Structure 1
Amino acid sequence: MVSDDSRQPPLRKDARRNRETLIGAAREIYAERGIDAPLDDIARRAGVGNATLYRHFPGRAELVEAVFRDALAAILRAAEEARTAPEAWTGLTTYLDHVFGLLAAERGTNDLLTTDIQGVPTLDALREGNRLTLDTLLRRAQRQGTVRADLTVEDLLFLLAALGRAVPAAPGTWRRYLALVLDGLRPAAARPLPVPPLDPEQFGAALRDLDTGPGKGAHPELPTSS
């Protein structure tokens, strides 16, 4: 469940200003350098002391939640909308186009969606919603005859995870490579696959070893993470 700050007592005006300044500084630094940037650098850019930062955000996860909550909630809404599309293929391609557009837009969002950071409530909700969305759309598309019948959700997640980790290396060309991946899902392109698919346990282990960017392993519940 997404956290609700409305239950928190209102902040004093100066404290609210410090919090907003910290969030703005973190957003800038994460976009420039990724979410592994030191918290000390964020406090310095915001013009406050470390004690002020930690008073508002006791750990990295709390700050990440505040910075990215709206963007992650937008992906959750896109996922819910995709699941209701009459044609599953259209829902799938529209949803992935939205997600990969965010991955290419800035480094911070890509880091967040393709690494294994824990304790971010909106991100946890997105991981669950993303897997549900992909599994639902995949099964429906197979029944509708628009996706090859031998594809599993682990196959799809692994392909998308690998592509998502590569987006920062060529942010202007992701549409080309996503189109190539999607074309390979179509029945017309299907040939017998040479080996069985990964089971869920093998899939999780494989994505933890997919270390081509900041952090160790992608998160398996995101299209670009494990």
Structure 2
Amino acid sequence: MPQNQPSPPLKRVDAERNREKILAVARAAFDGSEPDISMAEISRRAGVGMATLYRNFPGRLELLEAIWSDEIDAVCRAAETVTGETPGAVFTAWLHQFFIFSSRKRHIASELLSHVESDSPVFSRNRAKVMAASGPLLTAAQHSHEIRQDLTLRQILDMIVAIAAIRGDAAYIEPIFLAALDGLRSPAGTTGR
């Protein structure tokens, strides 16, 4: 191979680095107060040209889907690494991480829903991943009689998403979330049944 010709692995590393810079800039903008940020501004902040941006993400929808999927993967990985003293504590610790995710990604979910239906593959595929990752945590918590048996995982996750959608600052929303967690605990006297 001639010396002046870059090797393909270096090109791949550079392309991946550009992709990650774009995602980091877009994620920060959508997590903050800039949900309407333009693709041109994302390109500028990431320090890449528009051609590079569109080579990685042909449109805004693809960029939003990539951020959503990456964040879902992080929530799923958290289900494998979250810790607690009991199965119920592990499950509620993971629910706290899911709540933070749901709160921060409200703008992305809203914009995605303006482009696709709620049963779109980007939502259904990622919902299935979350259910598969967190299902064993709920099962263990219910088997230990720490979490009530009469709620399904879907009901619990829907409740968390609904709480995360409430408008207000953390001081307003956090007590609502904690009250919901209290409501998940098995009623007194049911341990061992």
TM-score under structure 1 length normalisation = 0.57
State whether residues 183 and 189 of structure 1, in contact with CA within 8 Å, keep that contact through their aligned partners in structure 2.
Answer: no
Could you report, residue by residue, the CA deviation over 1:147-193 in whole angstroms, capped at 9, with x for unpaired residues?
Answer: 22222223212211201222x63234443222100111223279xxx
Match of 2:142 in 1: 142
Could you report, residue by residue, the CA deviation over 1:192-215 in whole angstroms, capped at 9, with x for unpaired residues?
Answer: xxxxxxxxxxxxxxxxxxxxxxxx
Q: Does 1:94 align with 2:79?
A: no
- Structure 1 residues 141 and 11: alpha-carbon distance in aligned structure 2, compared to 1, 3 A threshold: same
Q: Secondary structure at the residue paired with 1:169?
A: coil
Counterpart residue type for residue 188 of structure 1: P
Q: Structure 1 residue 132: deviation in Å?
A: 2.3
Match of 1:60 in 2: 60
Structure 1 stretch 58-67 or stretch 179-188: which is displaced more? 58-67
Counterpart residue type for residue 152 of structure 1: T
Whole-angstrom distance in 1 between the partners of 2:24 and 2:165: 25
Match of 1:22 in 2: 22
Equivalenced residues, count: 176
Q: Secondary structure at the residue paired with 1:11?
A: helix
Q: Structure 1 residue 19: deviation in Å?
A: 4.7
Taking the TM superposition and a 5 Å limit, the aligned residue runs for 1:82-161 are: 82=82, 87-104=86-103, 107=104, 109-112=105-108, 116=113, 127-161=127-161
Match of 2:5 in 1: none
- Structure 1 residues 157 and 40: alpha-carbon distance in aligned structure 2, compared to 1, 3 A threshold: same
Whole-angstrom distance in 2 between the partners of 1:92 and 1:86: 11
Structure with higher Rg: it is 2
Counterpart residue type for residue 129 of structure 1: K
- Structure 1 residues 56 and 138: alpha-carbon distance in aligned structure 2, compared to 1, 3 A threshold: closer
Match of 1:177 in 2: 176
Q: Does 1:40 align with 2:40?
A: yes
State whether residues 75 and 101 of structure 2, in contact with CA within 8 Å, keep that contact through their aligned partners in structure 1.
Answer: no
Amino-acid identity (%):
34
Unpaired segments ≥5 residues, structure 2:
1-7
State whether residues 100 and 174 of structure 1, in contact with CA within 8 Å, keep that contact through their aligned partners in structure 2.
Answer: no
Whole-angstrom distance in 1 between the partners of 2:20 and 2:134: 35
- Structure 1 residues 67 and 159: alpha-carbon distance in aligned structure 2, compared to 1, 3 A threshold: closer
The higher-RCO structure (CA 8 Å, 6+ apart) is 1
Could you report, residue by residue, the CA deviation over 1:22-68 in whole angstroms, capped at 9, with x for unpaired residues?
Answer: 34432342233455543233234446553342123223354346657
Counterpart residue type for residue 161 of structure 1: V
Whole-angstrom distance in 2 between the partners of 1:10 and 1:62: 25
Could you report, residue by residue, the CA deviation over 1:102-124 in whole angstroms, capped at 9, with x for unpaired residues?
Answer: 455xx4x443467657676xx87
RMSD between superposed Cα atoms in Å: 4.0
Task: Return the structure number with greater helix share.
Answer: 2
Whole-angstrom distance in 2 between the partners of 1:180 and 1:76: 24
Counterpart residue type for residue 58 of structure 1: P
Whole-angstrom distance in 2 between the partners of 1:24 and 1:174: 27
